[in-house]
Structure 1
Amino acid sequence: MCGIAGIFHCGIPKPVDPARVTRMCDAMVHRGPDGEGVWTAPGVGLGHRRLSIIDLAGSPQPMASSDGRAMLVFNGEIYNFRELRRDLEASGAVFRTNGDSETILAAWRKWGPECLHRLHGMFAFAIYDLDRRELFLARDRLGVKPLFTAMMSDGSIAFASELKGLLAHPLLRREIDPLAVEDYLAWGYVPDHRSIIAGVEKLPAGHYRLLRHGASPAPAVRWWDASFAERRQEKPADLEAELLFRLREAVTSRMVSDVPLGAFLSGGVDSSSVVALMAEASAEPVRTCSIGFDEASLDETGYARQVAERFGTDHRERMVSSGDFDHLDTLAGMFDEPFADASALPTWRVCELARETVTVALSGDGADEAFAGYRRHRFHAGEERVRSLLPRALRGRAFGALGRAWPKLDWAPRPLRAKTTFQSLAGTGEEGYARALAVTAPELRAALYSDAFHRSLGGYHAERPLIDLMQAAPARSGLDRAQYVDLKFWLPGDILTKVDRTSMAVSLEAREPLLDHRLIEFAATLPEGLRIRRGQGKWLLKHAMERYLPREVLYRPKQGFVTPIAQWLRGPLASRARAIGRGGALARTGWFDEGRVAALAEQHIAGRADHSRLLWQLIMLDRSLTRLGVA
Structure 2
Amino acid sequence: MCGIVGIFDTSGKRIIDRALLVRMNETQHHRGPDAGGYHVEAGIGLGHRRLAIVDPSSGQQPLFNEDGSVVVTFNGMIYNFKELMTELTSFGHVFRTRCDTEVIVHAWEQWGAACVTHFRGMFAFGLWDRNRQTLFVARDRLGIKPLFYGLLPDGQFVFGSELKSLLAVSSLPRAIDPCAVEDYFAYGYIPEPRTIFKAVHKLQPGHTITLSPGDAIPHQRKYWDVPFRLAAPQPQAEMEAELIERLRETVSVHLVTDVALGGFLSGGVDSSAIVAMMAQLTNTPVTTCSIGFSDLAYDESHYAAQVAAQFQTQHTTETVNKDDYGLIDTLANLYDEPYADSSAIPTYRVCQLARQRVKVALSGDGGDENFAGYRRYKYAMAEQRVRSLLPTGLRKPVFGFLGKHYPKADWAPRVLRAKTTFEALAQDAVEGYFHGVSILPDQVRKQLFSKPFRQDLQGYQAIEVMRGHAAQAPTEDPLSLLQYLDLKTYLPGDILTKVDRASMAHALEVRVPLLDHTFVEWVSSLPSSLKLNGNEGKYIFKKSLEATLTDDILYRKKMGFSIPLATWFRGPLREVISETLLGPLLADTGIFDMQFLNKMVEQHLAGRRDYSTPLWALLMFASFLRNVLKESSSDVAILSSELA
> 2 CA distance for matches of 1:335 and 1:350?
17
> 1 CA distance for matches of 2:581 and 2:589?
11
For residues 478-519 of structure 1, the C-alpha deviation after alignment (integer angstroms, 9 at most, x for no partner) is 111100010011110000000000000111001000101111
Determine helix, strand or coil for the equivalent of 2:588.
helix
> 2 CA distance for matches of 1:473 and 1:244?
28
Partner of 1:629: 630
> 1 CA distance for matches of 2:424 and 2:41?
55
Partner of 1:589: 589
Is it true that 1:348 corresponds to 2:323 in the alignment? no
Amino acid at match of 2:411: W
Determine helix, strand or coil for the equivalent of 1:198.
coil
Is it true that 1:17 corresponds to 2:17 in the alignment? yes
How far 1:17 sits from its partner (Å)? 1.4
Partner of 2:186: 186
> 2 CA distance for matches of 1:623 and 1:110?
47
Partner of 1:465: 465
How far 1:131 sits from its partner (Å)? 0.6
> 2 CA distance for matches of 1:216 and 1:230?
41
Is it true that 1:29 corresponds to 2:42 in the alignment? no
Is it true that 1:315 corresponds to 2:315 in the alignment? yes
> Map of 1:63-212 to 2, 5 A cutoff?
63-212=63-212
Amino acid at match of 1:337: E
How far 1:240 sits from its partner (Å)? 1.1
Runs (4 or more) in structure 1 with deviation over 3 Å come to none
> TM-score, normalised on structure 2?
0.96
For residues 538-597 of structure 1, the C-alpha deviation after alignment (integer angstroms, 9 at most, x for no partner) is 100001111111101100111111112122112111122222333253222121122221
> Map of 1:279-428 to 2, 5 A cutoff?
279-428=279-428
> 1 CA distance for matches of 2:127 and 2:557?
46
> 2 CA distance for matches of 1:74 and 1:468?
30
> 1 CA distance for matches of 2:597 and 2:507?
37
Bigger mean CA deviation after superposition, 411-420 or 546-555: 411-420
> 2 CA distance for matches of 1:415 and 1:223?
46
For residues 422-466 of structure 1, the C-alpha deviation after alignment (integer angstroms, 9 at most, x for no partner) is 111101111001111111111100011111111111111111121
How far 1:50 sits from its partner (Å)? 0.4
Is it true that 1:475 corresponds to 2:475 in the alignment? yes
> 2 CA distance for matches of 1:527 and 1:82?
34
Are the equivalent residues in 2 in contact too, given 1:37–1:48 (CA < 8 A)?
yes
> 2 CA distance for matches of 1:421 and 1:548?
38
Amino acid at match of 2:435: R
Are the equivalent residues in 2 in contact too, given 1:139–1:208 (CA < 8 A)?
yes
Is it true that 1:486 corresponds to 2:486 in the alignment? yes
Are the equivalent residues in 2 in contact too, given 1:471–1:481 (CA < 8 A)?
no
Are the equivalent residues in 1 in contact too, given 2:369–2:483 (CA < 8 A)?
yes
How far 1:322 sits from its partner (Å)? 4.5
Bigger mean CA deviation after superposition, 122-131 or 319-328: 319-328
Amino acid at match of 1:545: L
> 1 CA distance for matches of 2:609 and 2:112?
56
How far 1:177 sits from its partner (Å)? 1.1
Amino acid at match of 1:34: D
Are the equivalent residues in 2 in contact too, given 1:174–1:198 (CA < 8 A)?
yes
> 1 CA distance for matches of 2:86 and 2:259?
23
> 1 CA distance for matches of 2:430 and 2:224?
23
> 2 CA distance for matches of 1:228 and 1:382?
22
> 2 CA distance for matches of 1:271 and 1:100?
26
> 1 CA distance for matches of 2:410 and 2:232?
41
Are the equivalent residues in 2 in contact too, given 1:580–1:618 (CA < 8 A)?
no
Determine helix, strand or coil for the equivalent of 2:581.
coil
> 1 CA distance for matches of 2:391 and 2:485?
25
Determine helix, strand or coil for the equivalent of 2:325.
helix
Amino acid at match of 2:630: G
Are the equivalent residues in 2 in contact too, given 1:164–1:336 (CA < 8 A)?
yes
How far 1:285 sits from its partner (Å)? 0.8
Partner of 1:545: 545
Determine helix, strand or coil for the equivalent of 1:283.
coil
How far 1:525 sits from its partner (Å)? 1.1
How far 1:606 sits from its partner (Å)? 2.1
How far 1:231 sits from its partner (Å)? 4.3
> 2 CA distance for matches of 1:292 and 1:465?
36
Partner of 1:499: 499
> 2 CA distance for matches of 1:101 and 1:531?
36
Partner of 1:529: 529
Amino acid at match of 1:327: L
How far 1:244 sits from its partner (Å)? 0.9
For residues 386-419 of structure 1, the C-alpha deviation after alignment (integer angstroms, 9 at most, x for no partner) is 2222111111011111111222222333222221
> 2 CA distance for matches of 1:257 and 1:445?
47
Are the equivalent residues in 1 in contact too, given 2:174–2:199 (CA < 8 A)?
no
Are the equivalent residues in 1 in contact too, given 2:322–2:563 (CA < 8 A)?
no
For residues 181-201 of structure 1, the C-alpha deviation after alignment (integer angstroms, 9 at most, x for no partner) is 111000101111211111101
Bigger mean CA deviation after superposition, 571-580 or 78-87: 571-580
> TM-score, normalised on structure 1?
0.98
How far 1:230 sits from its partner (Å)? 2.8
> 2 CA distance for matches of 1:495 and 1:341?
9
> 2 CA distance for matches of 1:220 and 1:435?
31
> 2 CA distance for matches of 1:555 and 1:271?
14
> 2 CA distance for matches of 1:31 and 1:190?
22
Q: C-alpha root-mean-square deviation of aligned residues, in Å? A: 1.2
Amino acid at match of 2:159: F
Amino acid at match of 1:269: V
Gaps of 5+ in 1: none
Are the equivalent residues in 1 in contact too, given 2:323–2:568 (CA < 8 A)?
no
Aligned length: 631
How far 1:111 sits from its partner (Å)? 0.5
Amino acid at match of 2:347: T
Are the equivalent residues in 2 in contact too, given 1:76–1:145 (CA < 8 A)?
yes
